[in-house]
Amino acid sequence: MKNADGKTDVIDDVSLLGPGPSDLVKLRLNDPNAYNKVSEWEFDFRQIGAGPPDVCMTLRKGRSVEINHALYSPECHQVGMVPPETINLIVMITPTMKTWRGIELDKPCLLSCGPEQEFEGVNTPNSREINFSVSKHRLFELADCLGLDVPRDILRSAPVWVTHNPSRLNAIIQRASYFVAPPAVHMTGVDEEDLLRDLLIGLNDAREQDDRSSLRIRSPAVEKALACMEDCADEAMPISKICSEIGVSWRSLDRAFLERFGIGPKAYQTRLRMSRARSEIMGKGADCLVSDVANKWGFWHMGKFAQDYKTLFGELPSETRGRRPFLFAE
């Protein structure tokens, strides 16, 4: 969306993304967590790979399904919750996520998460995925009309559905691309039903993945450590204290974090706090006093904070302060 000068407009009125069906909307997010301002979702993006944050989303909202074609860079850890009465489905042909709820992903699959269920995954660098947010009521209604089953486990938190028919999943992506990739066409009610039918057939072709991988076995320790880090994100609880509270050795926790995120618990904790600080700096804009935000999140040495910040995000905190969280693409 461009203004009279031919420049891209910044989003200030998020009501442009209302609850009803919408035209194609393209977003570029300088702060991935700004997506919460234009969505019913609860997202928490924690950057764990170095590089300038860059998330591009192409959204098409229908009456019973919303398509989100998303590009993420660099590597990040996503945590969040699905909106009420919504089922989330992600079609995976090539690995764009390393893990989903602690399960290693190495096969074509469908990822699902039920209404008001928590989800968690680690994206690969420069990942590309297509998310489908589907009306729970409409999905079950259509399944009943077509005589197809909806796996009841789809309503719980984040199972992984593995298919032996990748071409089926590829067909779903191709159909969705008609509505979100140039030259995108309008999505009719019939198109929505065809897309939901394909998703239902994909689920019926799949089986739930056995989750007894080494990552999954060590997942409880990681989950408990993450909870400690989140509860004390503003004070950087020592890793030794976290290990003591959750009852694991430093070596075990270090190995589990390295397998799950590619970095140790101390580095993860620092990047979690850095991500929190960056979102706050960008949210406050020109009025932000960087030192106050840094101190709030437990960074007291400003020179080191600025150096580490630039290493992770590719810019100084003062540069972040001049950016807007998100804008409309063309």
Q: Supply the pLDDT for residue 209.
A: 61
Tokens, residue 102: 């602690």
Under 8 Å CB-to-CB from 33, ≥6 apart: which residues?
A: 43, 44, 45, 275, 279, 325
Report the distance separating Cα 12 and Cα 1, nearest Å.
13
Q: Domains of the chain (ranges plus CATH)? A: 14-208 (2.60.120.10), 218-322 (1.10.10.60)
Under 8 Å CB-to-CB from 227, ≥6 apart: which residues?
A: none
* pLDDT tens digits, 136-171: 999 999 999 988 888 877 877 667 787 767 888 888
Under 8 Å CB-to-CB from 278, ≥6 apart: which residues?
A: 31, 47, 53, 309, 313, 317, 320
Report the distance separating Cα 34 and Cα 66, nearest Å.
18
Tokens, residue 42: 């609860």
Q: Supply the pLDDT for residue 50.
A: 94
Q: Supply the pLDDT for residue 14.
A: 42
Is the preceding omega at residue 265 within 30 degrees of 0, hence cis? no
Report the distance separating Cα 293 and Cα 264, nearest Å.
25
Q: Supply the pLDDT for residue 3.
A: 39
Give the pLDDT means over successive 10-residue stretches in the chain (330 positions): 38 46 80 84 92 89 91 91 92 80 80 88 88 94 89 74 79 91 87 92 75 56 92 89 93 90 94 95 89 95 96 95 72
Residue type for 290, please? V
Report the distance separating Cα 46 and Cα 307, nearest Å.
19
Burial class (CB in 10 A: 0-12, 13-18, 19+), 266: middle
Phi, psi of 284 (to 5 degrees): -85, -25
Q: Supply the pLDDT for residue 157.
A: 65
Report the distance separating Cα 305 and Cα 194, nearest Å.
51
Tokens, residue 304: 């080191």
Q: Supply the pLDDT for residue 225.
A: 95
